[in-house]
């Protein structure tokens, strides 16, 4: 079963700043790692990037980025989620 070396933690980011949400798993499981926001799959984009470590980088944060984030590891026949972490966006 996957184990998380680090998990996302509740945090606050200022509008327009960058934020990194941690998610460290065994290196062989990184290809099976994805992110969810408010329990829905998160689409990666030029502003939302998953690092090779599995961490999520949110660039130029907007109010729409506020919500509950969690990291998912899906491997053959099983999946495990990290703790959920609230991201607050403030002016």
Percentage above 70 pLDDT, the chain: 99
Sign of CA dihedral 25, 30, 32, 35: positive
> Quick check: pTM over 0.75?
yes
The predicted model gives 60-74 an average pLDDT of 97
Strand runs labelled E in 1-91: 4-6, 11-14, 19-21, 24-25, 33-37, 40-41, 48-50, 56-58, 67-75, 78-81, 85-90
Cα–Cα separations (whole angstroms), residue 52 to 30, 34, 49? 7, 12, 10
pLDDT digits (tens, 9 = 90+) for 26-35: 888 889 999 9
pLDDT digits (tens, 9 = 90+) for 69-84: 999 998 878 889 999 9
Predicted local confidence at residue 1, as pLDDT:
66
Better-predicted residue by pLDDT, 54 or 3? 54
């Amino acid at each position: 079963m996957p184990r998380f070396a680090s998990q996302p933690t509740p945090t606050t980011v200022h509008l327009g700043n960058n934020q990194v949400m941690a998610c460290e798993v065994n290196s062989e499981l990184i290809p099976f790692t994805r992110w969810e926001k408010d329990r829905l799959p998160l689409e990666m984009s030029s502003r939302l990037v998953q690092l090779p470590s599995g961490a999520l980088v949110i660039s130029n944060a907007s109010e729409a980025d506020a919500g509950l984030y969690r990291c998912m590891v899906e491997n053959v026949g099983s999946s495990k989620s990290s703790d959920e972490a609230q991201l607050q966006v403030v002016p």
